[in-house]
Amino acid sequence: MGGLLTALNAGKTSLSTNQKSIEIVGNNIANVNTDGYSRQRAELEQIPAVNFGDFFVGQGVTVSNVKRDYNVFISRQLQEKSIAFGEESGRSTPLTELERIFSISDESIASEMDRFFDAWQQLTTNPSGQVERDMVMQRGQLLGDAFRNTSEELDTVRENINNAIVSKIDNINEKIGEIAKLNDRINLIEASGQTANAARDQRDLYVQDLSHTLGVQTYTDGQGMLAVQLPGGLPLVQGNMAMTIETVTTGSDVNLQVRIGGTTKDIHLQDMGGEFRGMFETRDVFIAGLRTDLDNLAVELTSAVNNVHQNGYGLDGTNTQRIFFDDLAGPPPVANASRHVNVALTDSNQVAAATEFPAAPGDNRNALEIASLETTYLIGGQDTFDNAFGKIVSTVGIEASRNQLALGGAKDATVQLQNLRDGYSGVSLEEEMIDLIQYQRGFESSAKFLSTIDEMMNSLLQLKR
């Protein structure tokens, strides 16, 4: 009778194990389209045999563990490429806007500079002409408007970057908090000897998202929990404790701080990676450089015109060292000079086309000298005004092209690694169908085996009657 009971127990464990394996296969099939899900497998282990007479008899089978398919190397590579992809993504939208702003079009600064100097050239043909003088003043003001509009559009791009940063903070803090909660949950589950596969998958997904946005780095601490920190070393998650990232308005810009316990620390450009690094670097380095170049161009152009103009005479016959544009060079120099390019003259009669008074008929020498400034290498002795603006345009174009290439390369690398990860950890319906049939046959065989043992026990009981 003992032998039949042993066989009955073996059949029961086999039936239970195959049923559990089928449930695991069913869970894999249910999550075939779930982002970040790792395929789970039942690890089977025979129950230790017991001594039965002169030999050992097996006691059946059990599920020793439910293991997820996970590769640390692939996950690390995917995390690193997500950081690079995020950084280029953060630059992409602002650079697209900057390409539109700095373009050679009919509404650009380059076109307005050409029209401004063309107006002076027209004035040389009729130095006393009222229409030509009005046109010079009008074109001067339109040139100032072009500088001002470009400067304001740069401010708009900065504001858009600031708004994008603010809009992402709540979502980032939520994910940081979820990672800390999952750390605690995983620790509690696995302390009891079970596996927290679903929680680990979810935590990995949050880490990948934070890698894309902040460029976070991770390591396992002494308690087996996942620690998350910024590239500069500032902690975001320690055990089951989550830090909070806050936005701080500094002037017209938004900056970041991390609250660690009761203290706050500033997050600098070198402390972050991913999408935020791309946005901050574009705002604080690239756009700041464009604004400096634009302000320098405004100062150089207005100063050159003023230096010639103040030596000439207008139709009113006076020379009071009048400047054509407002003085931007100073001292002190005007901040955001490109915003303040304005015509200083109040009357077209003040336009100084002549070099002496009383002017000889048709004296246009001062107007000729101002018109010639367009083709004079005045900026560092190397560039004309058109060339200087062209360099700004080319700087934007080159950076935008580099970004497009880098973004495409980073995206392709991320997709390839994601496909590699899915190939290793993802669910294959074909494989699951094979496993399902295998466990189904095992379940059916176990049921048949139990039915046979039951008949044998009934036969044995009948004999005793």
**Cβ distance 377 to 278 under 8 Å?**
no
pLDDT of residue 1: 47
pLDDT of residue 268: 94
CA dist 257 to 229, 234, 286, Å?
14, 10, 22
Nearest to 37 by CA among 45, 28, 46: 28
Considering the entire predicted model, what is its pTM?
Answer: 0.87
**Cβ distance 245 to 176 under 8 Å?**
yes
CB-based contacts of 326, cutoff 8 Å, min separation 6: 302, 340, 341, 342, 343, 344
Count how many Cα atoms sit within 13 Å of the Cα of residue 352 in the half-sphere of its side chain.
25
Q: Along the chain (465 residues), what's the average pLDDT of each consecutive run of 10 residues?
A: 71 90 95 93 84 69 90 93 96 95 85 95 93 96 96 95 95 96 93 89 95 94 89 93 93 91 92 96 96 95 95 79 91 91 93 81 89 89 91 95 96 94 92 94 90 82 71
Beta-carbon neighbour count of residue 222 at 10 Å? 7
Give me the residue spans of the domains in the chain: 2-69+429-464, 98-156+285-403
pLDDT of residue 330: 81
55-57 and 244-250 strand pairing: unpaired
Q: Token pair for residue 157?
A: 């791009």
pLDDT of residue 321: 83
Q: Token pair for residue 422?
A: 């899915």
Q: Token pair for residue 126?
A: 């009729």
Alpha-carbon gap, residue 385 to 113, rounded angstroms: 8
Alpha-carbon gap, residue 437 to 461, rounded angstroms: 36
For tokens 């690390």, name the residue: 76
